[in-house]
Amino acid sequence: MVLFTRQNRQSTRRIHEGHIINLRMDTVRTPDGHEATREVVEHNGGVVIASLTAEQKVILVKQYRYSIDRDLLELPAGRIEANEDPFPAARREFTEETGYFAHQWKELSRFYSAPGFCDEILYMYLATDLEMREKKLDFDEETEVVEISLAEGWEMVMDGRIQDAKTIAGLGLIQAHLQQST
User: Rounded to whole angstroms, how far apart are CA atoms 174 and 172?
Assistant: 5
Catalytic site residue 142? yes
Inter-CA distances, 50 with 67, 125, 140, Å: 23, 6, 23
Half-sphere exposure of 50 toward its Cβ, with a 13 Å CA cutoff?
A: 27
Q: Give the contacts of 56 (CB within 8 A, at least 6 positions apart).
A: 149, 150
Any bridge partners for residue 106, and if so which?
126
Catalytic residue among 35, 39, 131, 142: 142
The DSSP code for 12 is E
Q: Which residues are catalytic?
A: 142
